[in-house]
Amino acid sequence: MTAVVVALGVAVLMLAVLVAGLLRSHAEILKALHELGAGLELDKAGPVPVTIDGVAAPRRSGDLSVPDAISGETLDGEVMALSLMGQDTMIAFLSSGCSTCQEFWTAFQHDPPLPPGARLVVVTRGADDESPSALEQRRPPAVPVLMSDETWEAFGVPGSPYFVYVDSAGRLVGEGSGASWQQVLDLMAQSRADAVARLRGSGSVREGRDDTALRDAGIEPDHPSLWESA
């Protein structure tokens, strides 16, 4: 009986030593990672980065009311409002504390390519959730940057980076994200082409094409052939 108790005591002692060693090793690993900077990104101001591969289908009218204009505070401390009517607009929702966003901040530094006739606007969260000094370091020279919580809420942005394309008529044509600016451009181009195809297939557009074809053939609305009984 005594031997059993001694053996059990030795086993418990060995188990305690093993657990203590594991805890010390875990603490040392965490300390080393912290010294290397791992995990610090979550402490920075700004929303948690979200990457969404692909462009979400345009939301149906009623699901999202696209505002006529967006407004916010510039990095110079001024209030700016930009109309979304009359010109195609690509809105890039970025953050200073999002590692995935750095790809886009860099791409926007040198006259980024855009769809013909379109303009680019960067919108971040408001000053309470962003670092103005960090944004100043990333600021593209030729792209407006607005800090606006209201715009994020108006478009229901799930995170950054995220992109929304609004056409000159104020319609939401495409939205989503990607790993690079070129990927976003390609996906938005596909979304725009799909939107045009849907528009061409609508009844009103087909009716307009039919009317044009009839007029080209010399058949006006009062032409007798249109009123002949079957």
DSSP at 155: T
Q: Take residue 162 and report the two structure tokens written for it.
A: 């995220």
* 18 three-state secondary structure: helix
Q: The domain 54-203: what is its CATH number?
A: 3.40.30.10
Beta strands in 125-213 (DSSP E): 145-147, 162-166, 172-177
pLDDT digit string (tens) for 87-116?
A: 999 999 999 988 999 999 999 999 999 999
CA distance 32 to 98: 23
For residue 197, count other CB atoms closer than 10 A to its CB.
9
Confidence of residue 191 (pLDDT cuts 50, 70, 90): confident
The pLDDT of residue 190? 85
- Structural domain boundaries in the chain: 1-29, 54-203
**More confident site: 155 or 202:** 155
* 79 three-state secondary structure: strand
Angle at 175 between CA 140 and CA 101, to 5 degrees: 35
Of 197, 199, 195, give the one whose Cα is nearest residue 55. 195
CA distance 24 to 21: 5
What's phi and psi for 89, nearest 5 deg? -135, 125
- CB-CB contact of 109 with 80 (8 Å): no
pLDDT digit string (tens) for 5-58?
A: 555 665 655 655 554 554 455 445 544 444 444 443 333 333 333 334 444 454
pLDDT at 60 exceeding the cut of 60: no
Q: Take residue 136 and report the two structure tokens written for it.
A: 């100043």
